[in-house]
Amino acid sequence: MNIAIRYFSKFGHSAMMAEVVSQVTGVKAETVETPITEPVDVLYLGSGVMLGKISKEMTTFIRSLTPDKVKCVVCFGSCAIIKSPVPQMRKLLEAQGIKVDERSFTCKGSMGPLHAGHPNKTDLENLRAFAKQIG
C-alpha cells in the first residue's frame, strides 16, 4: 500500500502530529508544499485552524489533488475553539472527487493560554493508536 503524509503547521502542532503518523507508518511526513506526484492509496492529511478556518495553503493543496493520484484521505488535526478542522477538509476533498475515510483524529491545540500544552503526550499517544488502527 502506497502511503503519503502531508500537513500544514503554522505553530508546530500539525508538524508534531504528522511526525507521530510518520513513526507509525514509516513514511516521511512532508508539508503541503510538496506535491503528490505519484499515486497513493492513503494520504494522511493534517491541519490546524486559524480564525475558524483551515489555511489558504491547505486549501490550495487540496485543490491540487485528483482522484487518480489519491484513492483515500485520512484527516487529522488540532484546534482550540471549533470542534475540528476535518469537516472543512472533507468538504474540499469531496468536491475534488476524493474519498475521505470516515475515521479521523482531532485533538485540542493550544492558542495562547487556551488549551496550553496541547497537543500533549496523551493526545499524541491517542494519535499513535489511531494511526495503528488505520494501518
**Phi/psi at 50 (nearest 5 deg)?**
-125, 125
- Those residues with Cβ within 8 angstroms of residue 70's Cβ, 6 or more apart along the chain or in another chain: 36, 39, 40, 43, 98
Name residue 60's beta-bridge partners: none
pLDDT bin (cut points 50, 70, 90) of residue 108 is: confident
What's the confidence (pLDDT) of residue 114? 64
What's the confidence (pLDDT) of residue 13? 92
Q: For residues 54 and 6, what is the distance between their CA atoms, to the nearest angstrom?
A: 14
Which residue in 62, 39, 46 sits closest to 8, CA to CA? 46
Mean pLDDT, rounded, for 6-35 = 96
pLDDT bin (cut points 50, 70, 90) of residue 39 is: very high
Tell me what the pLDDT averaged over the chain comes to.
93
Q: Does the structure show a pLDDT above 80 at 91?
A: yes
Q: For residues 5 and 19, what is the distance between their CA atoms, to the nearest angstrom?
A: 9
What's the confidence (pLDDT) of residue 113? 64
DSSP at 32: T
What's the confidence (pLDDT) of residue 6? 98
Q: For residues 68 and 108, what is the distance between their CA atoms, to the nearest angstrom?
A: 33
Average the pLDDT over each of 22-26, 83-87, 89-93 and give the range with the smallest value.
Answer: 83-87
Q: What nine digits make up the cell of 84? A: 475540528
Mean pLDDT, rounded, for 69-94 = 93
Listed in order, strand segments (DSSP E) in 35-134 are 40-47, 70-79, 99-100, 105-108
DSSP at 102: S
